[in-house]
Structure 1
């Protein structure tokens, strides 16, 4: 009886830890949900590997390579080596990080806006890197969770984070002479996702638990 009770309690603890770990991973991925939805990627679950056809995989790989500044002719070993180095240096910006843009925001006193922009960019690119099979998943999760913790430490809510991102994105589009009609879509996307019943931003509390606490 006693042994069975102890075993039952251990199983409850294991399931509790598993749920807590899953929520942390969901939270880390949710930072990129706006970009994921914009690019037709799933915003459910915590699986990193993408499950889509070759054409979509090829298109996404081309876009990610361009954003990371990777050459098209890299073999698999060289690609993974460069990706691994990028992930180790992620706080300095992944790939072709828009440092000049971040400096521009900092000069204007919009450091938090720059951080929101980079948190979303880092989460999305790391998710894509792992989804395309270009790195070890443990490497990706380390970056995703640390990136999530800095976002949680800096912002007060999903709305605070999203609003800062929209402000940064608006300036980014202005600097790149993007039409006003395109620039207005970001606020619409964010407003819709903050209110949507299926949104992870509604389901996951911002500060109920720390993202990077050891289990």
Structure 2
């Protein structure tokens, strides 16, 4: 079944979008890297999957977020940018983990682009809109990762006793994924390819697509 599922997807996303991302673009896409754990996920393109799979993006938005229209997508992005889950986290911990909301914001924007709710220009504009608050809040990918995990833990705790309690991946899985992203020896990590300081430096074109 897994093999059939893979074959029914389209060509590699890099063939449809062949221009490599600039340093700033990769940095913005990389804000959603903590969410992108699946092997089918792309961490170096605006399109969220390695292969074209618009239906998966559409299904995920509808089932997990109740998003099926552009208006609903814009409303959700506005909520995540203004308050999101960090408002509840602040009440419980005294800390507002913007990173959790930012990662979800970028992930939703990319999936919205994949299924046609946002065109490419609007998707990049959405990602640019979250950058200033993230840069003001954090000074490194390490700080960003720490707050992402805090936000995820508060969200996961909030699911206890609900039908969705078993939905999240184990915390150990999220921890391992973040360690891999932060590992300086991991050449495939987008956080190593686009260091935190890249967004504050002049943008540059990058060579070949990773």
Q: Same fold (TM over 0.5)?
A: yes
Query: Matched residues in 2 for 1:209 and 1:129: separation?
Result: 23
SS in 1 for 2:134: helix
Asked if the contact 1:145/1:212 (under 8 Å) is kept, the reply is no
Asked if the contact 1:152/1:207 (under 8 Å) is kept, the reply is no
Query: Matched residues in 2 for 1:26 and 1:176: separation?
Result: 32
Cα distance change, pair 132–39 in 1 and its aligned pair in 2 (3 A) = farther
TM-score, normalising length from structure 1? 0.69
Greater radius of gyration (CA): 1
Aligned with residue 59 of structure 1, among 50, 56, 60: 56
Equivalent residues in 2 for 1:1-215, closer than 5 Å: 22-38=22-38, 40-44=40-44, 46-48=45-47, 52=51, 56-70=53-67, 79-80=69-70, 82=71, 86-87=73-74, 90-93=77-80, 99=84, 101-107=85-91, 108-111=93-96, 113=97, 115-177=98-160, 178=165, 182-195=170-183, 196-210=186-200
SS in 1 for 2:196: coil
Q: Which has the higher contact order (CA 8 A, sep 6+)?
A: 2
TM-score, normalising length from structure 2? 0.70
Query: Matched residues in 2 for 1:152 and 1:98: separation?
Result: 17
Cα distance change, pair 187–127 in 1 and its aligned pair in 2 (3 A) = same
Q: State the number of aligned residues.
A: 177
Q: Normalized per residue, which structure has more helix?
A: 1
Deviates more, 1:30-39 or 1:140-149: 30-39
Instruction: List runs of 5+ in structure 2 lacking aligned partners.
Output: 1-18, 204-210
Instruction: List runs of 5+ in structure 1 lacking aligned partners.
Output: 1-17, 72-78
Deviation at residue 66 of structure 1 after TM alignment: 2.7
For the aligned residue pairs, the C-alpha RMSD in angstroms reads 3.2
Deviation at residue 125 of structure 1 after TM alignment: 0.4
> Any idea what the Cα deviations from partners look like across 1:146-195, whole Å, max 9, x if unmatched?
21332122111001101110111122212213579812211111011211
SS in 2 for 1:164: helix
